[in-house]
Amino acid sequence: MTGSNTLLQHPVNEIKKDCSEDCGLGLGHKQHTCLGIVEITDACNLSCPVCPANAKGNNFLSLEQVSDMMDLYVKAEGNPDVLQISGGEPTLHPKLLEILILAKLKGINIVQLYTNGLRIAQDDMLLKELALVKPALYLQFDGFTPEIYQKIRGADLLDIKMKAIERLTEKGVSIVLSVTVVKGVNDHQVGDITRFASEHPGIRGVLFHEGIVKKMTMIVKRM
């Protein structure tokens, strides 16, 4: 680890590769973490053909484990801008509400929740919890035809996505659409998705992913 552009004379960790791999996050680094991500589970209620994650497990981080990760992030950043709660599918975690509240209590400015929205469309208690803490909710959304969801997500989810958007909007939870753009499948609907988002009162932006995670483009509405 470095400080003031000089190597420490007595480093805590043995130098094997380089500072970033040997030390991890450190207070002497000039660069900071712009987005912290905590994957609270490897469980998921979908089997998306395009998913880059190995989300076929049934493991859930404890509240203590999540708290320790947040503490490390806060210690390294001082006043962290953004923390994303992800998975797997994070809404399957039985302590999701406590995790979201914990992030707020630790002084993290923006707490994001990345979700496929299935439980949000169906679970009234979960919706009430999200309305209580109001995370910045990133919702998977890939287009406007059942065929698109069959190919990208392995199931017809269009009605579920629209219902999740409606329910979140009613509760005042802001939404960013997260779109996986696959050539020949839904790339022709990029314009329609952008227009839909710009005209919808509950949607504040769109995040486009090309392929799996090759390239990302963010479109944010002027508020």
- Look up the pTM and report it: 0.81
* Average confidence score pLDDT of the chain: 86
In degrees and rounded to multiples of 5, residue 25 shows phi and psi of -65, 135
pLDDT tens digits along 119-128: 999 999 999 9
**pLDDT tens digits, one per residue of 59-90:** 999 999 999 999 999 998 888 999 999 999 99
pLDDT score, position 13: 56
Neighbours of 201 (CB within 10 A): 6
E strands of 68-195, at which residues?
82-86, 110-115, 136-140, 175-181
Contact 125, 131 (CB under 8 A): no
Q: What is the pLDDT of residues 2-51, one digit of tens each?
A: 444 444 444 455 667 666 666 665 555 556 778 899 999 999 999 888 87
State how far Cα 31 lies from the chain centre: 22
**Domain 32-220 - what CATH class?**
alpha beta
Neighbours of 52 (CB within 10 A): 11
Where along the chain do the CATH 3.20.20.70 domains lie?
A: 32-220
